[in-house]
Structure 1
Amino acid sequence: MTDVEATINIQKEAIKDSPSFLQKIRPHVELISALLSGVLILIGWSLSKSDLSTASAIFYLLAFCIGGFAKAKEGIQETIKEKELNVEMLMVFAAIGSAVIGYWAEGAILIFIFAVSGALETYTLNKSQKEISSLMGMQPEQALLIKNGKETLVHVSELTIGDHILVKPGERIPSDGIVIRGRSAIDEAMITGESIPVTKELHDEVFAGTVNMNGSLTVEVTKLSTETLFQKILQLVQSAQSEKSPSQLFIEKFEGTYVKIVLLVVGLMMFLPHYLLDWDWTTTFYRAMVLLVVASPCALVASIMPATLSAISNGARSGILFKGGVHLENLSHMKGIAFDKTGTLTKGKPEVTDIYVREDIQKESLLHLVASIENQSNHPLAQAIVSYTKQTIDAPLRQPDDLEDVAGWGIKAVMDGQQWLIGKAEFVGKEQALAFADGVAEKLAANGKTMVYVKDKDGIAALIALKDIVREETKAAIEALRKEGIHTIMLTGDSETTAKAIAQEAHIDGYIAECLPEGKVKELKNLMKQYGSVAMVGDGINDAPALATANVGIAMGEGTDVALETADVVLMKNDLPRIAEAIRLSKRMNRIIKQNVFFSIIVIMGLIASNFLQILDLPYGVIGHEGSTILVILNSLRLLK
């Protein structure tokens, strides 16, 4: 193949892959139609000034058809589907009525402004769907499968659990999995919001859609393509846009009844004023048409959905995913929030905080010996000691001569011919353990710390204290909620001593200790009786029943799948201060909705009264009515910021 032929082929592929002109303008068709109808109205108005009334009427008719087609089609389809009249049909009737009595320009302007307001609503919807589009653009479609030593490019849907895939530098990871070979920095911003890449090595978890920065990784697939965290985020945003809030559902039910009442009153007004108020037939019919225009609840109907979609879009951009408008609306009513402790208020992993050793023992040597023994255990406390030692001492761990894991108590091991006991106070001798280092264990326990004792042939050799550390952002989150007037309480299965220490450190208002999953549900119900509306924040499988029971369940993004599926709101960045932000967003949304509803009702009542007093002409009625609709939508769009 020549260079010229190659270039032509590349250009053909580029043209084939690039979006067509029609694809580019499709999202803007409604706005283009509205603007085109506006141009046609201007031409029609110019022709009417030149005494070309027939030509003018033709341009007005074109404006009717082009500007009103989308809304008329929507209205007719909805009417047939729901067997209920709607606002769109009311506007079609009003425009036709205006044309019938000779007010072509006014009818066309009505259609034009109605089309513009519809285009604004569509813009709001498209804006809220932008998060889905951007997410879908990050979803890898192919993966490099390693099977029998061969590399094969397959679609992600073909991957099964246990498959091995190769991810090269610069590529997006195709599926959730665990690193089994290699080391690299991973950009997880689209999942966690963290801008700094995270280093991943052997046995670390990686997520679909994140970017492999600089090293090759071999990953073992742990989830099907339809069950990845990435897909769950996608489903959350999609479900949020389809689920309607109580306010929206009420308005939609109210709309059908209101439209029927308006049409009935307009029908009566076509005749009664002529007989009761001595109006002439032209005035009677004209005022009936004005009433049809100004009484339409367009602004009222547009008061809620654009605001809800804008708020959901705002939240998604900040890493707060709402499963529906109902949960966003309910957040503003919260009077209390219950928190799980482990993994929510705390990091969920114990860390070494204090080490006390006998005077005749060298600290580093003992710590190295203990870590070498604990390295044989999978217990979280053992792994925390091993991790701390590796960060503190630069020396390879050794293998014990003999080892016995005494379940629930500790480890018995032999190193260099000497026996060591590592574990609870009861395992090494309770009296000796509690008396060690002048009885410091009591003070450490009061601070919510867990003790691991080390014993040799001469008695207690060391005490290692560990604690599940409170997240750095927890205090700020609790303070922010307190400013919103919300009572905070911690529900935990830990002992009274540990729970009290963590609650004090986190500045939380109250706590309930030794609380099992069923106990959390019971306590949550008591809180709901006491405070009315209560949210629950958790991350684990044991939190799922409480998340489902609460008025609003809030899950941490790094939590279990069960918690994510049960919750109503998900904090993708595991950022607790986002809860207060979500509540403020909810309050702001409800405030804007109230502004919209109040403004809409006042405008409609004012226009109806002005029409009956015969001080409002059709052009001003059109501008007042449709102008209020546009203002309401623009007010809702403020929630995007």
Structure 2
Amino acid sequence: MTTLTKEQPEQTIDWSARLELIAAILSGIIILAAWILGKNGTESFSITLYIIAFLIGGYAKAKEGIEETIKNKELNVEMLMIFAAIGSGIIGYWAEGAILIFIFAISGALETYTLNKSHNEISSLMELQPEEAWLLLEDGSEKKVSTDSLSIGSILLVKPGERIPVDGEILSGVTSIDMSAINGESIPVTKRENDELFAGTVNISGAIRMTMTKPSSETLFQKIITMVQNAQSEKSPSQQFIERFEGSYVKIVLAAVVIMMFLPHFLFNWDWTTSFYRAIVLLVVASPCALMASIMPATLAAVSNGARKGVLFKGGIHLEHLSTLQAFAFDKTGTLTNGKPIVMDFIVREGTDMKEALALFAGAESLSNHPLAKAIIHYATEHGVEPERNLHIEDVPGFGIKAETDHGEILIGKPKFVGEELVEEFQDNVAVSLANEGKTVIFMRDEQGIVALAALQDTLRKEAISAIKSLQSLGLRTVMLTGDNEKTAHAIANEVGVDSYVAECLPEEKVVQLKQLLKEHGTVGMVGDGINDAPALATATSGIAMGEGTDVALETADVVLMQNDLNRLSYAIKLSRKMQRIVKQNVFFSIAVISILIIANFMQVVDLPLGVIGHEGSTILVILNGLRMLNKIE
């Protein structure tokens, strides 16, 4: 099968298809001339023309068939067509043999052309891959250079309207970036200093200076191209079975043809010419061309369709597996939720100034990189409060923070750290009701008791509820796996609408839960962020990672949702199920056509040209049916 590389653009493949088509048409013209000459009595010259038509029209397929036979040491359908054409000439049916070659050549050219359509997404991606960049020199001047010549740390200038040449970070400037080449999302994203940039995306509004952080050969964009190329070259189990079946089937057909040459002559008193002719027709109509084309075009088209929508499959096998899933397990943080907690409530002691308490709270948290600390600092900034800086801070691992102020010592952390009795007394034990709502509560205490509390909560992704409903409407069971406590897990599970949940589930315990789900349902998908969920992703039938440009997600999962959009998960399921329906249609149709043509040949109601048309026509129809996978899934 053909795959595209930077050195082998789609145009190369298109030209091969055009040459095949030109050769086929030329052989058809020669056949017509030979037929006219044969009618006028110049039979020997017409036979010569038929032979020329054989050579011109059949060269491409004969070459392909012989090379594949030598390589795999197995006969194939191309060889069956060659044998049929030669056999037709031997028994004097030169015109029929030439027509066979002509239609077979036309069919082959059309197959090549239609199969190339499934590579269009890769070709369009490759055209977006920048090959040049503006390198900023030490004297401040700029020079256009090849991206291959750049090294990590190179300082580049990207002007408005240009594509980001390599992966990197913004050094200076503010702009809007069109990320559609990476994640399929057309809405521009604002990028500022220190924000990450990806090769292939478009700088829309402002000139920026950036530094290169990855070699051009290892950019996320290149990894996406490589990933989809590999997916197109990796064959599904069904396709592998069909190809293994081809060698045995061809041998069976050849054996049947040999029997057909002799047995009807003795059993049904057919003359030798009729027996040989019907054997040649059997050789044509029994060939499994349509069956061989039932799966691969549909798979290639589905992989391309997914790539266009920001759903990347690592291979046909994973696309096939999605249609069999009975349940989905979801990580919570970073998957069903945004993974960034925010302050929902800030309550202070009676008589305490809220801004003073918040400044002290945020000041104590200012040296921490913990997500909860960042959320509190962000909350203070939003309310125009400057964190207190004149503090001596001591981190108490596993509990919280101890800080010395001008007015004495304060403690910030969990109830056990600040005093459970004081927590119960604060505001009529308001912390219990906040915890029951699934919020994480942090307390600040001074010598007089609890000064303030901050209740934080990780927020659901805006599409999480609709995504879960979509999966449930497709008959899939949904389970949430989270390391949060029971109350928080219960609150989130109720809000998002999953069928069940498991709380206080550590990464290694997620694997145990996955194995239990596999026992119950047979096939289970796991959706996670591709980092701490890697073991669970590997255990599941299909591991689906939330991508958003992370290399880890591309490495660990079978399927990657590039936009972190959970709604694309149901799209992927529908895509897989539609592909399986089309494959079943193609297999049933191709077997039915072969069976009908074999029976019709035995009853002597189908001649060689009509048999060729039926055989090759069915092949084209299953390919075109497979290419319906390029259409948007509703």
Residue 169 of structure 1 aligns with which residue?
Answer: 160
Q: CA deviation at 1:501?
A: 1.6
The counterpart of 1:316, out of the listed 302, 307, 312, is 307
**Pairing 1:375–2:366 present:** yes
The counterpart of 2:484, out of the listed 468, 478, 494, is 494
State the AA in 2 paired with 1:629.
T
TM-score by length of 2: 0.91
Residue 301 of structure 1 aligns with which residue?
Answer: 292
- Closer, same or farther: CA 197–48 of 1 in aligned 2, 3 Å: same
Counting only pairs closer than 5 Å after superposition, residues 589-604 of structure 1 correspond to structure 2 as 589-604=579-594
**Pairing 1:611–2:619 present:** no
Please list the CA deviations of residues 307-365 of structure 1 after superposition, one character each: whole Å capped at 9, or x if unmatched: 11111111111111111111111111111111111111111111122222334234345
Q: Distance in 1 between matches of 2:212 and 2:431?
A: 44
3-state secondary structure, aligned to 2:172: strand
Residue 9 of structure 1 aligns with which residue?
Answer: none
- Closer, same or farther: CA 365–116 of 1 in aligned 2, 3 Å: farther
**Pairing 1:31–2:21 present:** yes
Please list the CA deviations of residues 355-384 of structure 1 after superposition, one character each: whole Å capped at 9, or x if unmatched: 223342343454345334433322211111
Are the counterparts in 1 of residues 260 and 279 from structure 2 also a CA contact under 8 Å?
yes
Are the counterparts in 1 of residues 358 and 387 from structure 2 also a CA contact under 8 Å?
no
**Pairing 1:287–2:278 present:** yes
Counting only pairs closer than 5 Å after superposition, residues 246-395 of structure 1 correspond to structure 2 as 246-393=237-384
Are the counterparts in 2 of residues 120 and 633 from structure 1 also a CA contact under 8 Å?
no
Counting only pairs closer than 5 Å after superposition, residues 172-251 of structure 1 correspond to structure 2 as 172-251=163-242
Residue 5 of structure 2 aligns with which residue?
Answer: none
Q: CA deviation at 1:74?
A: 0.7
Q: CA deviation at 1:493?
A: 1.8
Q: CA deviation at 1:524?
A: 0.9
State the AA in 2 paired with 1:29.
L
The counterpart of 1:410, out of the listed 400, 412, 436, is 400
Please list the CA deviations of residues 201-234 of structure 1 after superposition, one character each: whole Å capped at 9, or x if unmatched: 2332222222222233333433333332212211
Q: Distance in 2 between matches of 1:487 and 1:587?
A: 17
State the AA in 2 paired with 1:370.
F
Please list the CA deviations of residues 544-593 of structure 1 after superposition, one character each: whole Å capped at 9, or x if unmatched: 11111211111111274333212111111211122221111111111111
**Pairing 1:576–2:566 present:** yes
Q: Which runs of 4+ in 1 moved over 6 A?
A: 19-24
Q: Distance in 2 between matches of 1:34 and 1:443?
A: 79
**Pairing 1:511–2:511 present:** no
Residue 422 of structure 1 aligns with which residue?
Answer: 412
- Closer, same or farther: CA 37–493 of 1 in aligned 2, 3 Å: farther
- Closer, same or farther: CA 430–159 of 1 in aligned 2, 3 Å: farther
Residue 522 of structure 2 aligns with which residue?
Answer: 532
Q: Distance in 2 between matches of 1:585 and 1:169?
A: 37
Q: Distance in 1 between matches of 2:136 and 2:398?
A: 41
Are the counterparts in 1 of residues 17 and 110 from structure 2 also a CA contact under 8 Å?
no
3-state secondary structure, aligned to 2:533: helix
Q: Distance in 2 between matches of 1:185 and 1:71?
A: 51
Are the counterparts in 1 of residues 14 and 113 from structure 2 also a CA contact under 8 Å?
no
Q: Distance in 2 between matches of 1:31 and 1:431?
A: 86
Q: Distance in 2 between matches of 1:504 and 1:554?
A: 23
Are the counterparts in 2 of residues 117 and 633 from structure 1 also a CA contact under 8 Å?
no
Please list the CA deviations of residues 136-168 of structure 1 after superposition, one character each: whole Å capped at 9, or x if unmatched: 222223344457565565543444444443333
Are the counterparts in 2 of residues 179 and 204 from structure 1 also a CA contact under 8 Å?
yes
3-state secondary structure, aligned to 1:202: coil
Q: Distance in 2 between matches of 1:36 and 1:538?
A: 56
Q: CA deviation at 1:420?
A: 4.3
User: Gaps spanning 5+ residues in structure 1: where?
Assistant: 1-18
Are the counterparts in 2 of residues 425 and 434 from structure 1 also a CA contact under 8 Å?
no
Residue 5 of structure 1 aligns with which residue?
Answer: none
Residue 12 of structure 1 aligns with which residue?
Answer: none
- Closer, same or farther: CA 130–400 of 1 in aligned 2, 3 Å: farther
Are the counterparts in 1 of residues 178 and 186 from structure 2 also a CA contact under 8 Å?
yes
User: Gaps spanning 5+ residues in structure 2: where?
Assistant: 1-8
- Closer, same or farther: CA 552–275 of 1 in aligned 2, 3 Å: same
State the AA in 1 paired with 2:487.
T
Q: Which shows bigger deviation, 120-129 or 315-324?
A: 120-129
- Closer, same or farther: CA 270–24 of 1 in aligned 2, 3 Å: closer
State the AA in 1 paired with 2:449.
G
Percentage identity across paired residues of the two chains? 62
3-state secondary structure, aligned to 2:217: coil
**Pairing 1:118–2:108 present:** yes
Q: Distance in 2 between matches of 1:103 and 1:54?
A: 13
Q: Provide the aligned length of Structure 1 versus Structure 2.
A: 622
State the AA in 2 paired with 1:340.
D
State the AA in 1 paired with 2:289.
C
Are the counterparts in 2 of residues 414 and 420 from structure 1 also a CA contact under 8 Å?
yes
Q: CA deviation at 1:42?
A: 4.3
Q: CA deviation at 1:539?
A: 1.3
Please list the CA deviations of residues 107-159 of structure 1 after superposition, one character each: whole Å capped at 9, or x if unmatched: 23322332333233323432222222222222223344457565565543444
Counting only pairs closer than 5 Å after superposition, residues 51-200 of structure 1 correspond to structure 2 as 53-54=43-44, 56-146=46-136, 153-200=144-191
State the AA in 2 paired with 1:310.
A
State the AA in 1 paired with 2:552.
V
- Closer, same or farther: CA 180–368 of 1 in aligned 2, 3 Å: farther
Q: Distance in 2 between matches of 1:254 and 1:21?
A: 33
Please list the CA deviations of residues 8-52 of structure 1 after superposition, one character each: whole Å capped at 9, or x if unmatched: xxxxxxxxxxx9998974553333333444444444445555555
Please list the CA deviations of residues 429-455 of structure 1 after superposition, one character each: whole Å capped at 9, or x if unmatched: 332224323222112212221112233
Counting only pairs closer than 5 Å after superposition, residues 433-582 of structure 1 correspond to structure 2 as 433-558=423-548, 560-582=550-572
Q: CA deviation at 1:268?
A: 2.4
TM-score by length of 1: 0.90
